[in-house]
């Protein structure tokens, strides 16, 4: 099948992706680059993304064992599982030589017991303010000392996570200082070759001094800056497209979509397009001045988003016919609907917009 037969698809620009990797490299120098490809590479298609940048990154990060298994089929790199492991997942994580993230001595013991002849590499997480994983900051050294006594573990890395790096500069700088102090104590009390990682996308853009040993680049790889002032550094990777499925002439007074929330104020030419909230287009964009692009011209969304279809205003484009391409997000003929616009109008965040793009939306690699 080619894109001519697709009803809804996402074009993934490999050149933009590699541009963004270079932008990360420019900021982190000799530090290792951990490409975060969890949640289907933030909706961009994990396998295609990993294969495209496998030659220019050092390791990959995923959310869970299932993602790690799928990724291992495509790349040989070290894979860090960034979320906590379920107890029943421990033996397979060990057998497949993934790097689990642990927060407690109890978790460490599980991996130590499951080890065979080879030591299990682990990422030790410290909670410096995120509150969802990690050894509590005051207890980190005590927990770390105990973990270091386990004979079948090898400490691969020490990490933390920044909760407000795109919102609160003062807190983030304080957090980085506290983590550096924790890390200094760990390395003093328990020497080793383990590496440290803290910076994610916002941190890489705004707080990359120092960068530590590894940088976890996520959303910025896909060309979306969590800090608007840095957006010009990046190139959006994904263009989300669909098609006009039907063109109709609607008399004044006609109602459109569920709830009759839009009544045509005049005779209107409208297009029914072949995508909806089952494809990931936010239902919250209903009646919020959302637009789509046809031939580089904005066409307003009319009424409510439905599961498989939406209706747009074609009054300014009298010769558009069924089958024509529609851009839901991205660029077309010099015009653009950025991810940030969809997020703002839907009152959500860019991460949610891209990660909710549905499984039936084809991901197509383009240059």
* Active site residue ranges: 38, 258
Q: Helix, strand or coil for residue 252?
A: coil
Residue 233 phi, psi (nearest 5) = -75, -25
Angstrom distance (rounded) from CA 197 to CA 176: 11
Determine contact, residues 308/275, Cβ cutoff 8 Å.
Answer: yes
Q: Which tokens sit at 321?
A: 């016919």
Choose among 133, 139, 106, 108: nearest CA to 121. Answer: 108
User: Which runs of consecutive H residues, i.e. helices, occur in the chain?
Assistant: 14-28, 38-43, 46-53, 65-72, 90-95, 105-114, 140-148, 169-189, 201-206, 339-346, 350-355
Determine contact, residues 98/81, Cβ cutoff 8 Å.
Answer: yes
């Amino acid at each position: 099948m080619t894109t001519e037969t697709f009803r809804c698809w996402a074009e993934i620009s490999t050149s933009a992706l590699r541009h963004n990797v270079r932008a990360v490299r420019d900021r982190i120098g000799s530090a290792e680059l951990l490409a975060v490809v969890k949640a289907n590479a933030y909706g961009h298609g994990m396998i295609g993304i990993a294969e495209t940048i496998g030659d220019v990154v050092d390791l990959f990060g995923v959310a869970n064992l299932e993602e790690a298994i799928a990724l291992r089929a495509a790349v040989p790199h070290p894979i860090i599982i960034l979320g906590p492991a379920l107890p029943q997942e421990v033996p397979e994580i060990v057998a497949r030589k993934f790097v689990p993230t642990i927060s407690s001595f109890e978790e460490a013991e599980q991996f130590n017991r499951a080890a065979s002849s080879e030591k299990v590499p682990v990422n030790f997480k410290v909670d410096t303010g995120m509150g969802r994983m990690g050894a509590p900051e005051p207890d980190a050294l005590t927990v770390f000392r105990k973990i270091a006594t386990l004979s079948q573990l090898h400490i691969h890395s020490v990490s933390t996570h920044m909760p407000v790096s795109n919102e609160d500069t003062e807190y983030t700088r304080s957090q980085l200082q506290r983590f550096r102090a924790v890390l200094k104590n760990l390395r003093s009390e328990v020497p080793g070759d383990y590496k440290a990682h803290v910076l994610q996308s916002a941190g890489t853009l705004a707080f990359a001094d120092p960068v530590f040993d590894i940088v976890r680049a996520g959303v910025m790889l896909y060309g979306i800056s969590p800090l608007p002032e840095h957006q010009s550094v990046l190139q959006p990777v994904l263009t989300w497209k669909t098609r006009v499925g039907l063109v109709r002439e609607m008399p004044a007074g006609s109602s459109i979509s569920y709830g009759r929330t839009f009544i045509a104020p005049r005779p209107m030419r409208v297009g029914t397009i072949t995508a909806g909230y089952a494809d990931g287009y936010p239902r919250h964009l209903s009646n919020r001045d959302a637009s789509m692009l046809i031939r580089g011209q904005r066409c307003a969304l009319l009424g409510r988003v439905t599961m498989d279809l939406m209706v747009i205003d074609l009054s300014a484009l009298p010769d558009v016919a069924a089958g024509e391409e529609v851009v839901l997000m991205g660029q077309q003929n010099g015009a653009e609907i950025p991810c940030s616009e969809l997020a703002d109008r839907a009152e959500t965040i860019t991460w949610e917009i891209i990660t909710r793009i549905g499984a039936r939306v084809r991901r197509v690699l383009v240059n």
